[in-house]
């Protein structure tokens, strides 16, 4: 019976999948005015604001060439817009000097069919010293935004609009004044409307006191369905938490029926190995497209958090550009085959020699699942090290931290089992807590499928259920054994990537070969780090030995818990200093 239901689920996901090209195909740069890049792993920002003149002087030739190349690449990849700055926006981005600099970038990118957009700080009218408030219902505030939009469009006639992160993770917003997301978004929409500009209002909003962070986007936004202005688009992360290596689709996509939506992916590898690990993200994004297409969810566009910096190869890791390329290709043609995209990229970036293309394309196709296996298999999520999110720290719990920023909030390991109960019923656990009923936010048949531990897809099992260590999975083995074997499988796959890469050495130049070899070797080493840290930590709760055919750990839990990786000055040259 379990197999029949699982087969139905897989067939259901593929029903209705067809080719789609999304009108808005945007990069989101999380770049700051000071040149830093939040969650950036390819050097500093490409936007050299201190070198761009705000007056009538011409753009320096070196920058013009770089931005012209950026425009050409994006046009070739299928991208038609770019948000230049971080969603954690600084008010200074709306000063007259900065707008003049943005206009110079827009002039270069316009030739390539690329519109520019800006992230805006909601408190800008107050922060820039013009007003005493940023209340969206204040007539002076509304007038301030109208005049600011008029100023922008006078310099950039085809300016695309604003991206807004409001009342999230400390950013200001309309709720600071007792107003709603509708009040804030519609105020900006009103100011942009005469110029045909749009507001992309992010749904990444969550409070510290919720019983389940995965519920909060629906709880916050579904009640406002149909109230947003026509030029407001709610920008929703592909999953309900935060760009995890595997997540279900955010349920908010199924709950907004009268509101325009766009999806937000993360091209930069914040949670998938940064600029070191190879993790081809097209298969992840294809999972998303298949499910929303199965439910005929309409989208206005796709945004991707850029993985671009000022390194000569743009993305820090030569192979990481495949994700930039795949993002553009899928936003243009969502049914394009992931392997074909990989093959196209390898031929463009390396060589058309099939002795290289075929094995490396296959490596790419296996890479995302390998990352899931050695990091967080079976639906585990957000058990990363605090701050940099590079390595494993399922134990991370500094005093005074918000509970929903700690791994234990998500894995909920105890002597009975493992996983987050998001069902509509109680499940055995030490705390005795009932389910968060996150499953009710999904349409049928997903809600029923996810709600039952026996029918829930096993790759999301621990996302939706707190499962006994002895729970018998569909292969007849208990959860604990399957968890061990998944981590083992990830390690073996990461080690196999090194062998694959060594086998293609004759077909590319030595510099590019060495550039990736050190990364594949580091990835394999990290896979062991992840595997040992997670299994040894969870073993404290399961009290079970590793299966007889599972290899012995290379590390001790004590050593791993004592280790602190500093990422602030970390470079590829430091790889061998890691554990």
User: How, if at all, do strands 81-83 and 417-418 pair?
Assistant: unpaired
Going by DSSP bridges, is the β-strand pair 417-418/467-468 parallel, antiparallel, or unpaired? antiparallel
| Rounded-to-integer distance, Cα 393 and Cα 411, Å | 11
The answer on pLDDT for 296 being more than 50 is: yes
Instruction: Check: CB of residue 506 under 8 Å from CB of residue 457.
Output: no
Peptide bond into 445 cis (omega under 30): yes
Give 292's contacts (C-beta < 8 A, 6+ positions apart).
249, 253, 263, 299
Same domain, 296 and 187: yes
The residues near 505 (Cβ < 8 Å, ≥ 6 apart) are 513
Whether the CB-CB separation of 144 and 112 falls below 8 Å is answered with no
Residue 321 has pLDDT above 90, yes or no: yes
pLDDT at 571 over 90: no
Q: What is the pLDDT of residues 150-194, one digit of tens each?
A: 999 999 999 999 999 999 999 999 999 999 999 999 999 999 999
Q: Does the active-site annotation cover 510? A: no
SS3 letters across 468-490: ECCCECCCCCEHHHHHHHHHHHH
Tell me: pLDDT of 250 over 90.
Answer: yes
Closest to 579 measured CA to CA, from 528, 535, 534: 528
Q: Which of 220, 264, 270, 532 is catalytic?
A: 270
Strands (E), 242-286: 261-266
Contact 441, 218 (CB under 8 A): yes
CA angle 156, 161, 164 (to 5 degrees): 140
Q: Which of 349, 384, 411 is the last residue of a domain?
A: 349
Do 365 and 226 fall within a single domain?
A: no
Q: Using pLDDT thresholds of 50, 70 and 90, give the confidence band for residue 19.
A: low
Angle at 234 between CA 267 and CA 448, to 5 degrees: 85
- The count of C-alpha atoms lying within 13 angstroms of the C-alpha of 105, restricted to the half-sphere facing its C-beta, is 25
Looking at per-residue confidence, does 573 or 114 come out higher?
114
Residue 18 has pLDDT above 50, yes or no: no
Same-domain check for residues 300 and 433: no
Active site residue 488: no
312 with 354, same domain: the answer is no
Residue 453: per-residue pLDDT: 98
Nearest to 20 by CA among 389, 344, 301, 399: 301
- pLDDT for 119 beyond 70: yes
- Quick one: CA dihedral 421, 426, 429, 433, positive or negative? positive
Across 378-384, average pLDDT = 97
> Which of the four pLDDT bands, split at 50, 70 and 90, describes residue 28?
very high
Q: Hey, what's the torsion of the CAs at 422, 424, 429, 430, to 10 degrees?
A: 100
Residue 234 to residue 418: CA distance in whole angstroms: 34
User: Within this chain, do residues 400 and 389 fall inside the same structural domain, yes or no?
Assistant: yes
Separation between Cα atoms, residue 532 and residue 139, nearest integer Å: 59
Question: Is 444 one of the catalytic residues?
Answer: no
Q: What domain range includes position 415?
A: 350-579
Residue 433: predicted pLDDT: 77
Three-state DSSP at 31 gives: strand
HSE, side-chain direction, 13 A CA sphere, residue 450: 27
Q: Which residues pair with 441 in a beta bridge?
A: none
Average pLDDT, the chain: 94
Q: Are residues 93 and 242 in the same domain?
A: yes
Q: What is the DSSP code string of 476-538? A: SSBHHHHHHHHHHHHHHHHHHHHHHHHHTGGGS-HHHHHHHHHHHHHHHHHHHHHHHHHHHHH
pLDDT at 7: 45
pLDDT, residue 316, reads 95
Q: Which two tokens stand for residue 143?
A: 């007038």
Of 349, 378, 402, which residue constitutes the final position of a domain?
Answer: 349
Kindly state the tokens that stand for 251.
């349920």
CA angle 472, 478, 482 (to 5 degrees): 120
CB-facing half-sphere around the CA of 240: CA atoms within 13 A = 27
Tell me the pLDDT band of 343, cut-offs 50, 70 and 90: very high
Positive/negative CA dihedral, 335, 336, 339, 342: negative
Task: Say yes or no: 454 and 360 in one domain.
Answer: yes
Q: Is the dihedral of CA 520, 523, 525, 528 positive or negative?
A: negative
Same domain for 381 and 485: yes
Model pTM score = 0.95
Average pLDDT over residues 399-428: 96
Long-range CB contacts (within 8 A, 24+) of 528-532: 528/491, 528/554, 528/555, 529/391, 529/392, 529/555, 529/560, 529/578, 529/579, 530/374, 530/375, 530/391, 530/392, 530/487, 530/490, 531/374, 531/487, 531/488, 531/490, 531/491, 532/557, 532/560
C-alpha separations of 90 from 43, 119, 360, 490 in Å:
20, 9, 41, 40
CA–CA separation, 556 and 392 (whole Å): 14
Structurally, the chain folds into a number of domains equal to 2
- Indicate whether 388 and 295 sit together in one domain: no
Does the pLDDT of residue 1 top 70, yes or no?
Answer: no
What tens digit of pLDDT does each residue of 49-93 get?
Answer: 999 999 999 999 999 999 999 999 999 999 999 999 999 999 999
Instruction: Put residue 534 in one of left, alpha, beta given phi > 0 → left and psi -120 to 50 → alpha.
Output: alpha
440-480, pLDDT tens digit by residue? 999 999 999 999 999 999 999 999 999 999 999 999 999 99
Work out the average pLDDT over 322-333.
Answer: 97
Of 25, 30, 117, which is closest to residue 80 (Cα–Cα)? 25
* Confidence at 280, pLDDT banded by 50, 70, 90: very high
Q: What is the pLDDT of residues 510-551, one digit of tens each?
A: 999 999 999 999 999 999 999 999 999 999 999 999 999 999
- Higher-confidence residue: 24 or 1? 24
387: confidence class by pLDDT, cuts 50, 70, 90 = confident
Same domain, 312 and 440: no
Region of 95 (left: φ > 0; alpha: ψ -120 to 50; beta: rest) is: beta
- 201: closest CA among 119, 139, 289, 141? 119
CA 547 to CA 551: how far, in whole Å?
8
Average pLDDT value for residue range 476-493: 98
Q: What is the DSSP secondary-structure string of 360-417? A: HHHHHHHHHHHHHHHHSGGG----BPTTT--SB-TT---TT--GGGSHHHHH---SSE
3-state secondary structure of 242: coil
Q: Which of 240, 283, 287, 238 is nearest to 263 (CA)?
A: 238
Give the end of a domain, one of 316, 349, 382.
349
107, 139: one domain: yes
The one catalytic residue among 76, 97, 150, 169? 169
CATH (domain of 237): 3.20.20.80
Domain identity same for 100 and 200: yes
Inter-residue contact 131 to 88 (CB < 8 Å): no
Residue 15 pLDDT class (50, 70, 90 cuts): very low
Helix (H), strand (E) counts: the chain:
18, 10
Which CATH number fits the domain that encloses residue 553? 3.90.1330.10
Among residues 305, 330, 300, the alpha carbon closest in space to that of 315 is found at 305
């Amino acid at each position: 019976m379990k197999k029949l239901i699982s087969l139905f689920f897989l067939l259901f996901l593929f029903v209705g999948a067809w080719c789609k090209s999304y009108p808005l195909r945007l990069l989101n740069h999380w770049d700051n005015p000071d040149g830093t890049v939040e969650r950036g792993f390819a050097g500093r920002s490409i936007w050299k604001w201190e070198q761009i003149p705000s007056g009538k002087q011409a753009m320096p030739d070196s920058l013009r060439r770089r931005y012209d190349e950026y425009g050409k690449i994006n046009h070739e990849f299928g991208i038609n817009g770019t948000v230049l700055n971080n969603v954690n926006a600084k008010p200074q981005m709306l000063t007259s000097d900065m707008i003049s600099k943005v206009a110079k970038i827009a002039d270069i990118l316009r030739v390539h069919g690329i519109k520019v957009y800006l992230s805006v700080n909601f408190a800008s009218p107050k922060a820039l010293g013009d007003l005493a408030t940023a209340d969206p219902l204040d007539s002076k505030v509304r007038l301030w935004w109208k005049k600011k939009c008029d100023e922008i469009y006078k310099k950039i006639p085809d300016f695309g609009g604003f991206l807004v992160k409001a009342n999230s993770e400390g950013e200001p917003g309309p709720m600071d004044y007792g107003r709603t997301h509708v009040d804030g978004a519609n105020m900006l929409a009103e100011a942009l409307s005469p110029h045909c500009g749009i507001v992309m209002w992010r749904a990444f909003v969550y409070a510290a006191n919720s019983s389940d962070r995965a519920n909060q986007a629906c709880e916050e936004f579904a009640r406002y369905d149909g109230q947003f202005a026509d030029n407001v688009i709610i920008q929703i992360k592909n999953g309900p938490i935060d760009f995890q290596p595997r997540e279900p689709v955010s349920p908010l996509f199924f709950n907004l029926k009268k509101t325009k939506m766009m999806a937000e992916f993360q091209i930069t590898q914040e949670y998938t190995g940064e600029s070191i690990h190879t993790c081809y993200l097209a298969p992840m994004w294809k999972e998303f497209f298949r499910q929303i297409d199965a439910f005929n969810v309409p989208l206005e566009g796709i945004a991707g958090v850029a993985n671009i910096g000022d390194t000569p190869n743009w993305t820090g890791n030569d192979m990481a550009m495949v994700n930039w390329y795949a993002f553009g290709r899928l936003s243009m043609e969502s049914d394009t085959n992931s392997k074909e995209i990989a093959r196209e990229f390898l031929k463009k970036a390396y060589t058309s020699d099939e002795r290289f293309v075929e094995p490396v394309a296959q490596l790419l196709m296996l890479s995302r699942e390998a990352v899931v296996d050695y990091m967080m298999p079976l639906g585990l999520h957000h058990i990363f090290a605090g701050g940099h999110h590079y390595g494993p720290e399922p134990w991370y719990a500094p005093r005074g931290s918000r509970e929903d920023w700690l791994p234990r909030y998500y894995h909920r390991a105890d002597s009975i089992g493992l996983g987050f109960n998001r069902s509509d019923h109680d499940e055995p656990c030490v705390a005795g807590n009932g389910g968060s009923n996150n499953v009710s936010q999904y349409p049928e048949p997903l809600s029923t499928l996810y709600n039952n531990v026996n029918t829930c897809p096993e790759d999301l099992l621990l996302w939706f259920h707190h499962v006994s260590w002895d729970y018998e999975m569909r292969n007849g083995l208990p959860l604990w054994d399957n968890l061990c074997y998944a981590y083992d499988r990830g390690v073996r796959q990461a080690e196999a990537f090194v062998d694959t890469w060594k086998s293609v050495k004759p077909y590319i130049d030595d510099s590019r070969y060495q550039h990736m070899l050190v990364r594949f070797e580091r990835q394999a080493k990290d896979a062991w780090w992840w595997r040992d840290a997670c299994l040894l930590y969870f073993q404290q709760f399961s009290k079970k030995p590793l299966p007889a055919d599972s290899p012995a750990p290379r590390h001790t839990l004590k050593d791993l818990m004592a280790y602190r990786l500093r990422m602030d000055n970390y470079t590829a040259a430091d790889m061998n200093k890691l554990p």
